A and B are shown apart, each in its own frame.
Chain A
């Protein structure tokens, strides 16, 4: 009877459990997780802080998930050493867990740069429910009125929105010239920046926080931050949301190959047989860049975990790949942005753009050799998935180009053979 061990119980780990059980109802599954709470949606922690969701609403699986899937759940435990020769994972209580197939789904941890004062009371990161609980409790405890958020990526904007909804005055500090610069082009970034400002947020771009300074009456508590150009901004809280780095500590000193993350093949297996990795810790395939890279995104972690689970259980399944893809709802502006939405200057890209300033609608498609390699849709997203399908399947859209950005573009615009392939009708 195979013994599966999964380290990590977030998106990838949970999805792997389900995939294994789909194939193998009897093998033993052990999951080691540092978190003690039930499976919950990490992207929803901002809704927790804003008060829109409680933990009950955030649960992504029901409470019987472990028992239903016959999982031995070692929650509140940390995997500390991996011994590939013995095929064991040692946990912090001293026990060693034997595996035949191992999945590393340890995810990422927030990156906090060296910064004077980052140890002060009132400095937080924002990736787990405990972070959200601590922030919410702190706001209540000190009746916080002001916050500084460092980093205007996905996490930074989502925590900003949550804090605004709780009535805080937020200053958003971003080192790049534009907010959400890894996801959006300058035009789409401006649309979001405008709504962020309208919501009362002060945005500071092209600068970072140099120093976190204590309150005059209590140096241990956050009182203000000083920016690159010297300006000092009073604040009660500092949220560091610069990014996440893969948690590869467990593999230190082992033969498992890592780059920034763990390197995996298209079956989510590492260079060491029977050792798999997926989710934010792994460098998996990006079908647009045609190379492996870190893509710390929830849907891709779920998909990668599923692929790992199938392969661990013996159902050989290749990963079709992901890419940088995000759907956003910040401040009620719906945005979908996928792939090379903001490519560097390169004459081999063809760019189609439609901007309706009155309706605040912005659509952009990036083509290379008549194949869609990037897209951004703002305020008109309902049928963007059709374009994602064309992108993912590398459909030549040469003849469709005049239609792609029209309001009417949809399934009926597609050529009949493609519609048949998609199995739409008869």
Chain B
């Protein structure tokens, strides 16, 4: 079973708090003010608010079954973990060639330009509920266990 984050478009108000809490979650300080104002480089949100009014929803790595990013990765940094079903990214191995970005149908992989690597959602493995889901004020993100 895999943790999957589902976007509920009809509940999304486009507030962008998912991006804020994701940024904080990936920060060193875990504090919004410090994360945004003091941490250099500023941590990167792995979720993106897609907006085309009136449509809006939050999207992050889908942890695809066939994971085109892992398939295309030149270095072995991107990896489909058969046990957890998650697509994991190892920044130590990443060289920032951007090949995964080219093949991600969701545009869900971000560029960490400063670190010259990519950044993506790991479904907050260390948390019970991913930060974006836990902090969505309108229940527009839901975490489900899915078969893949």
Contact = CB atoms under 8 A, between A and B. Distances in A.
Interface of A: 41, 43-44, 47, 52-53, 57-61, 298-299, 302-303, 306, 325-329, 332, 334, 336, 338, 381-386, 388-389, 408, 410-413, 416, 422-426
B107 A299 contact: no
Contact of B74 (A41, A338, A408): A41
Contacts of A325: 102
Interface in B4-18: 6-9
A329 B111 CA distance: 12
Given A52-B95, A412-B57, 18 more contacts: A53-B95, A59-B76, A299-B71, A299-B72, A299-B99, A302-B72, A303-B72, A332-B116, A334-B98, A336-B98, A381-B98, A385-B105, A385-B106, A386-B106, A386-B107, A412-B52, A416-B55, A424-B7
A382 B111 CA distance: 7
A410 B107 contact: yes
A425 B6 contact: yes
Contacts of A327: 97-99, 101-102
Contact of B95 (A44, A382, A408, A423): A44
Contacts of A386: 105-107
B111 A334 contact: yes
B31 interface: no
B56 interface: yes
A410 B6 contact: no
Interface of B: 6-9, 48, 50-52, 55-57, 59, 62, 71-76, 92-93, 95-99, 101-107, 109-111, 116
Contact of B105 (A47, A52, A389, A416): A389
Contact of A425 (B9, B96, B102): B9
Contacts of A332: 116
A279 to B, nearest CB: 14
A381 B93 contact: no
A412 B76 contact: no
B103 A385 contact: yes
22 contacts: A57-B93, A59-B76, A60-B75, A299-B99, A326-B102, A327-B101, A328-B98, A329-B95, A329-B116, A336-B98, A382-B101, A385-B104, A385-B105, A385-B109, A408-B51, A410-B48, A411-B107, A412-B51, A412-B56, A424-B7, A425-B57, A426-B8
Contact of A384 (B8, B92, B97, B102): B102
A43 B74 contact: yes
A167 to B, nearest CB: 20
Given A41-B74, A41-B76, A334-B111, A388 B50 contact: no
B106 A411 contact: yes
B99 A58 contact: no
Contacts of A388: 102-103, 105
Contacts of A423: 62
Q: What are the 7 closest A-B residue pairs judged by CB atoms, nearest first?
A: A383-B107, A299-B72, A60-B76, A389-B105, A412-B52, A425-B7, A385-B104
A132 B92 CA distance: 21
A324 to B, nearest CB: 12
A381 B111 contact: yes
A43 B111 CA distance: 19
With most chain A CB atoms within 10 A of its CB, the pick from B50, B51, B59, B102 is B102
Of A328, A383, A389, most B-chain CB atoms within 10 Å: A383
Contacts of B111: 334, 381-382
A306 B93 CA distance: 22
Contact of A408 (B8, B52, B93, B103): B52
A385 B102 contact: yes
Contacts of B59: 411, 424
A338 B72 CA distance: 14
A424 B99 CA distance: 22
